[in-house]
Structure 1
Amino acid sequence: MTMRQIGLSIYPDHSNEEQDKAYLLLGEKYGFTRIFMSMLEAKDVKTTERKFKKIIEFGNEHGFQTTLDVSPRIFNQLGISYTDLSFFKKLGVSAVRLDQGFNGITEADLSYNPEGLIIELNMSNDTGYLDNILSYQANQPFLYGCHNFYPQVGTGLEDQFFERCSKRFKNRGIHTAAFVSSQVGNQGPWNVNDGLPTRESDRNLPIEVQAKSMFMSGLIDDVIIGNAYASKGELKKLGELNRYKLSFSVDLVSDINDVEKKIILEENHYRRGDSNALVARSTESRVKYREQENRAHDNKEQFNVGDILIGNDAFGVYKNELQVVLQPHFDSRKNKVASIKKEELPLLKYLYPWTKFNFTR
């Protein structure tokens, strides 16, 4: 299984070296291991080499691996040959991302580069691009995929299109990456920066919600913050995020009792395999707490999607069973104990049968 990573973006042509270093040290503290850099706006070899090499080497010293974003125009502008990637090796990068594709055979040849650099492909297309490259017997372990980001509001990928593109790579066993957007960062490669997400639906969401959705889709291995500089709080939240287990942030009701609080916050949950459309059931708690009384409260109003329920004393053998509401309904035998935060309701689509999950406040 590929280990999931989190990453940062640095823009040496627009940033301050000391700020970049401080940002990377903060990222290191919170478990970030990837750096994305764009060379699409590079001017000449000497200036580019001087600016980029310093921060890349600093990142290497602190456990980061850097991907450099390039295009055919940059190869021509810097006088770099496709058959000689030593310029990028000298900079200290681990991967070169091809923002624009070539003809398939060129990418396949690049994947055998003697410098051992990973060739990262643009994932944001729903075509046979990857299949074409692989048909030329590419060196697949050295091929990665990474989506685009979209600085202009309204232009990010639609969710379904994102999924189709991602599946083309994931189904082939290719390591994948995509971008989320800081809500405070204002630095990117261009002079338009309405955030830098891959998916349009992520643009205005809290950064940890964007990342949860990316990881829980099962389609993305690495999540990178597209814009700089994310806040310390955002970095901390991504660093603390469980990249492998579905987690919902909730608001507890005021009348929740001690038993219910233990069930929702301290127990491990999974959705029963014999799923239904009304609720996602987690039933181990009804066994563990079958002797614990649970008086009725918050049980008279309609339950809505994302409400968390626990059976009360009137629910017989189902007392203290936890349920996540998937369809609105009434049932006085259940107590509402919490609600999933509104911005995280889309994560319910990842609550499949047997899915393990937990709740945080």
Structure 2
Amino acid sequence: MKREIGISIYPDHSDPKKDQAYLELAASLGYTRLFMSMLEVTEGKEKVKQKFSFIINIAKELGFETILDVSPRIFHELEISYDDLTFFYELGADGIRLDQGFDGNKESLISYNPYQLAIELNMSNDVAYLENIVSYQPNLPYLYGCHNFYPQEGTALEFDFFVKCSERFKKFGLKTAAFVTSQTATMGPWEVSDGLPTLELCRHLPMELQTRILFATNLIDTVIIGNAYASEEELRAMAAVDRYKLTIGVVPTHSWNDLETKIVEDANHYRRGDSNALVVRSTQVRVLYKQEENPAQDNAHAFERGAILIGNDTFGQYKNELQIALTDHEDPRKNQVAYIPKEEQILLDFMKPWTKFQLIKK
């Protein structure tokens, strides 16, 4: 499934002109999903329709798919029914996210709405919710999944729990989404906003790194910025992320020579299929540069997890092979040229046999 990135807008708290400018900038950078929360609306149906349709129509012209976050309270507030989604169709929305679930059959019936609106389900529960819905034969192409975000520090999902929840949805082939948080934005649906990530480990990380982590899991198709407005610098950095290849930032331990630069920045690294617990091995570079001399240097110390290593002239046929240390060890036949910062080392957990990867100089 193709991967995409998205933004969030909160019409009940924002300025329409700023919203439009934000949408236009994001669209120019390749963002294609728009999340909008209706959980906090308190005005009448006509006022809500006017406010939301203005933003949605601009988004539609810019190529965004818009999903509205809704709850039973909103249906009561606006005097509308889950059995008739005309209101959302008239707004111009492409789908609705059910913040709360029903009995399974209800979700299945809603998925066959005549407007072909996507029905997005809450992914942040490790229960047989989706399996129950599927047992009622829903319109699967119109079922999406999307995690929650968590405004309160310390309350977002633990990684292992996130994986379990996400795997339930991916096994049915549903389109999945999760949230990252801007470190500069302050707007969300509620007064408390310590950031709006899905994963707690992401709360204080740069937004582009959060994005790389979520895509690296191979469980998330759409990464959405939970809060507004992210800075232009953040938007550009996130848009530049390779959505399909694992990319890891590395910090040089010294000024690289031409050979080290060519080896480290090679675009075609992949982990050998016969993997081991000591190092990740990328072996094609040793073939490409087997004639190049590489004297021993920066090799007389223990290599810690995350060290970027290149075989030196004393390493025989392994000369100029690139390795990433997974386990601390010593070996003077290898030169250390860089290291992976601690906050990026979680990405090593996604380095499976044959994984394609690229190292980015920080």
Q: TM range, normalised to the smaller chain? A: over 0.9
Judging changes above 3 Å, is the alpha-carbon distance between structure 1 residues 231 and 292 closer, same or farther for their aligned structure 2 residues?
same
Question: What is the correspondence of 1:285-296 to structure 2 with a 5 Å cutoff?
Answer: 285-296=285-296
Q: In the alignment, what sits opposite 2:29?
A: 30
CA distance in 2, matches of 1:300, 1:4: 43
The amino acid across from 2:8 in the alignment is S
Question: What is the correspondence of 1:1-361 to structure 2 with a 5 Å cutoff?
Answer: 2-43=1-42, 44-361=44-361
Partner secondary structure for residue 154 of structure 2:
coil
Cα deviation 1:269-317 (Å, max 9, x = unaligned): 0000011100000001111111110011110111111110000011111
CA contact (8 A) 1:252 1:338 kept: yes
Task: State the shift of 1:257 in Å.
Answer: 2.0
Task: State the shift of 1:81 in Å.
Answer: 1.2
Cα deviation 1:208-252 (Å, max 9, x = unaligned): 111111111011000000000111111101111000000111111
CA contact (8 A) 2:311 2:320 kept: yes
Task: State the shift of 1:103 in Å.
Answer: 1.4
CA distance in 1, matches of 2:54, 2:267: 47
CA distance in 1, matches of 2:68, 2:134: 22
The amino acid across from 1:171 in the alignment is K
CA distance in 2, matches of 1:278, 1:252: 21
CA distance in 1, matches of 2:11, 2:267: 46
CA contact (8 A) 1:255 1:297 kept: no
CA contact (8 A) 1:249 1:340 kept: yes
CA contact (8 A) 1:154 1:200 kept: yes
CA distance in 1, matches of 2:291, 2:154: 54
CA distance in 1, matches of 2:204, 2:227: 13
Task: State the shift of 1:342 in Å.
Answer: 2.3
Please say which of residues 42-51 and 170-179 is displaced more in the overlay.
42-51
Cα deviation 1:242-271 (Å, max 9, x = unaligned): 000001111112243211110111341000
Partner secondary structure for residue 100 of structure 1:
coil
Please say which of residues 250-259 and 155-164 is displaced more in the overlay.
250-259
The amino acid across from 1:183 in the alignment is Q
Cα deviation 1:83-114 (Å, max 9, x = unaligned): 11010001001010000011111110000000
CA distance in 2, matches of 1:267, 1:321: 15
CA contact (8 A) 2:286 2:318 kept: yes
Partner secondary structure for residue 175 of structure 2:
coil
Partner secondary structure for residue 205 of structure 1:
coil
CA distance in 2, matches of 1:108, 1:274: 44
The amino acid across from 1:35 in the alignment is L
Please say which of residues 280-289 and 338-347 is displaced more in the overlay.
338-347
CA distance in 2, matches of 1:340, 1:82: 49
CA distance in 2, matches of 1:211, 1:183: 13
CA distance in 1, matches of 2:39, 2:255: 56
The amino acid across from 2:351 in the alignment is L
CA distance in 1, matches of 2:142, 2:29: 27
The amino acid across from 2:95 in the alignment is A
Task: State the shift of 1:73 in Å.
Answer: 1.2
Question: Identity percentage over the alignment?
Answer: 57
Cα deviation 1:160-180 (Å, max 9, x = unaligned): 111110000001111100001
Partner secondary structure for residue 80 of structure 1:
coil
CA distance in 1, matches of 2:27, 2:219: 25
Please say which of residues 305-314 and 266-275 is displaced more in the overlay.
266-275
CA distance in 1, matches of 2:256, 2:120: 50
The amino acid across from 2:272 in the alignment is R
TM-score where L is the length of structure 2: 0.98
Aligned residues between the structures? 360
CA distance in 2, matches of 1:330, 1:136: 58
The amino acid across from 1:172 in the alignment is F
Partner secondary structure for residue 185 of structure 1:
coil
Partner secondary structure for residue 315 of structure 2:
helix
The amino acid across from 2:3 in the alignment is R
The amino acid across from 2:70 in the alignment is V
The amino acid across from 1:305 in the alignment is R
CA distance in 1, matches of 2:267, 2:69: 44
CA contact (8 A) 1:270 1:282 kept: yes
